Chain A
Amino acid sequence: MPAEAPEPRQWRQILDRVASTPWIEFSVFLFPAVLFYMVFTAYPVARTFINSFFVITPLGSEYIGFENYREIIFEDWVFWKAVGNTLIWSIVGPIVDVGLGLILALVIYSGVRLGAFYRFVWFAPVLISNVVAGILWLWIYNYDWGVLNSALRAVGLGDWAMSWLGNTSTALGAVIAAHSWKWAGFDMVVCLAALYALPREVLDASELDNCGWFAKTYFVIIPMIKRTLLNLTILAFIGRMKIFDLVWVMTTGGPLWSTETVSTYVYKRAFNWSTFDLGYPSALGSLWSLVIIVVVILLTRIVSSKERLEY
């Protein structure tokens, strides 16, 4: 049904409200934030998009239309390799992170002894910067004296010891594992908050129905915190689509581009290729931003279309 047009009296009210609004005060308060946004977000984004249609060097720029985009899509196999790695990470990472976070949260929620201690220990990696975490895991994965290989040797599995970050078949998994170690604690805390917010009577009812621990978790708890899990998964997915620092510290995208992500590739094209051209990396960044925006819109629709759970 079409919305009805306001009555003349309503119009007057609206006009009165507009007239009585302190626009000057609004402007004064909004101006710094708007200026900050325009200068540090809107302008760089717009400029990057415009740059993507040029070859840009300090000596000047040349308009080339969609040539950068054509090259990226049809000729740049490293870009597609980076896209593949990023997507693998974006899909596997959230499943591992959220799954692990949920398990850890359930362990603490079950009332395990020293729960506060475990909560601190498991959350602590979140407080470490990605750079420090990267260096830590470089040591853990060190072939000669790293904890992982030393442990394998200690239990008689020395043949399994390998250069985890130096092998194309294990490097991406090794970096994903390091990243999951860092972020599972964050997911744990969020899941724990959701668990503590669950209505006690529903859980008590399931226990009265002789529901076992596994059945209670699978059929009662997880459905009730599904929205939290979904939101965490989406957040994790978006974060992995932009992953840079941990990869840069641990592998710089190697060996043989096996851990190259779109972000590390953009950085290399912008700063490591000894060309100074900012047009091509701008096109890479613009294209990938577009992909992320589309994915975010799709995921947001999926989340918002889910029925709200009532209890």
Chain B
Amino acid sequence: MRGTASVLAVAGALTAGAAHAEDITLTVWSHEADSKSKVAWRELAARNFEEAHPGVKVKITWYQKEPLFSALNTALRAGQGPDAFYIERDRVEYITNGFVTPLNDLINWSSIKPWTKDVWTIDGKTYAVPQEVWTLENFFNETRMAELGITLPDNKQLSQTEYLELVKKSVAAGISPLAAGAGDRPYPGAYMTQELLLKRLGVDDYRALLDGKISYTDPRVIEVLGYVHQLVEAGFYPKSFTTMTLAETWPYFEANPAALMLIMGSFYAGHPFTSDVPDSFKLGVMKIPALDNGVCNECKTAAVGASFAINSNSEHKELVADFLNEMATPEMGARWVKTVLLGTAVETGPIESDNPKMKAYLDEYNEANQGAKYFIGAPHQYLTGSCKEAWAQIINVALPANLISIEDTAARLDQACYRP
């Protein structure tokens, strides 16, 4: 009788435990609702995790970027929000205000590329699991380039004079030199200027400029602004540049009017291989031009994109960390590259693409990145406050749209950013 009671008690306890486990639902808020491949990839990770953790469910709510961060701003302030959420490096305020749990001891970092971990490490604590990495690339349409009769040098990098001539030749031939739009993003119009500043100043002084320690009236900065102004005067940016959205930029490059070049993160490269593009569109990669006085012409921007963080108010930190680990296995990393067609922060080893066009592109991409020295992070991910706003309004829009003089550009940026 007593034995039966014990068995029943144990069975009851187990049943109660099982019932409790079934109650656990991990909530995750993610950006990129419109990316089918990313949705499929993260949902697969969720299902894999559920299989490995019976009784635990993962509910991913899908958003677009702005609505996601609006919702997070409200929820996190109220001490609520999901267990884990999508984050990008420009949302540093979530970290500085204590909304994010340090992940040093929760994540299996051996499968993450160290430099991508460093991006999220502040004062020794790492706050997010990086998922996507990108480098800033000067893409071009090989067919258009051939129409202009231009052959790139072996190192894929033109001099600043040759690049300016290329722009002028393109305009003269009635071909839009660049597909670019700053209508809904605070950074695409700044890409060329930021890369040239990086090349002219080198990594350390470029960082000092972004930190407000170097003035925008520095002769080297003025020199770069002057060259950008020359490009603008030559017709480098489309007339509709200020209102063109990021989504409109890609067809502008690929199909109509089929521009010569596109300066964009390497995350773009997945698009032409998964969309209907004209047969005449052949994606090539070249380098941003070398400056005559460039200190580091091999320098370029690399950045971490999509990442995931854990809410400091989550009651299931270890469980949700397991879910983030599930997304960071070498197998999932390889799957990311093959299905999402983007760079991954996970150590995967060499990956052979099944898609021949993609394989050719990857070869070209690797060639263009040969010997590159990377600066980690884009300015919009670094800057905050008035400097962030000034950068978005001036470098991203006004300078490329020829709405402001070089002197005013430097003066206004100094006013907002320079804190010696």
Seen from chain A, the residues whose Cβ lies within 8 Å of a Cβ on chain B are 57-59, 78, 138, 141-144, 162-163, 165-168, 251, 254-257, 268, 271-276
B97 within 8 A of A: yes
Q: Which residues of B contact A166 (CB under 8 A)?
A: 239-243, 397, 401, 403
**What does DSSP make chain B's interface, helix, strand, loop or mixed?**
loop
B242→A255 contact, CB < 8 A: yes
- Complex Cα–Cα for A144 and B176 (A): 12
Q: Which residues of B contact A57 (CB under 8 A)?
A: 97
Q: Which residues of A contact B76 (CB under 8 A)?
A: 58
Q: Which residues of A contact B394 (CB under 8 A)?
A: 256
Q: Which residues of A contact B403 (CB under 8 A)?
A: 166-168, 255-256
Additional 17 contacts, C-beta under 8 A, given A143-B239, A257-B393 = A58-B77, A58-B97, A78-B386, A141-B243, A144-B240, A163-B239, A166-B240, A166-B242, A166-B401, A254-B242, A254-B397, A271-B70, A273-B386, A274-B90, A274-B91, A274-B93, A276-B77
Q: How far is the CB of A129 from chain B (nearest CB, A)?
A: 16
The 8 Å CB contact of B385, one of A167, A251, A273, is A273
Q: Which residues of A contact B93 (CB under 8 A)?
A: 274-276
B243→A138 contact, CB < 8 A: yes
B57 within 8 A of A: no
Q: Mark B231-257, 1 if CB is under 8 A from A, else 0.
A: 000000011111100000000000001
Instruction: Say which size band chain B's interface belongs to.
Output: 20 to 34
Q: Which residues of B contact A59 (CB under 8 A)?
A: 97-98
Q: Mark B31-72, 1 if CB is under 8 A from A, else 0.
A: 000000000000000000000000000000000000000100
- Complex Cα–Cα for A273 and B388 (A): 7
B323 within 8 A of A: no
B143 within 8 A of A: no
Q: Which residues of A contact B384 (CB under 8 A)?
A: 273-275
Residue with the greatest number of chain A CB neighbours at <10 A, chosen from B243, B393, B403 = B243
The 8 Å CB contact of B401, one of A58, A255, A271, A272, is A255
B241→A58 contact, CB < 8 A: no
- Complex Cα–Cα for A162 and B240 (A): 8
- Complex Cα–Cα for A165 and B394 (A): 15
Q: How far is the CB of A213 from chain B (nearest CB, A)?
A: 42
Q: How far is the CB of B397 from chain A (nearest CB, A)?
A: 5
The 8 Å CB contact of A255, one of B239, B385, B397, is B397
Q: Which residues of A contact B90 (CB under 8 A)?
A: 274
- Complex Cα–Cα for A272 and B73 (A): 11
B99 within 8 A of A: yes
Q: Which residues of A contact B397 (CB under 8 A)?
A: 166, 254-256
Q: How far is the CB of B38 from chain A (nearest CB, A)?
A: 24
**Which residue of chain B has the shortest Cβ distance to A143 in the bound complex?**
B240
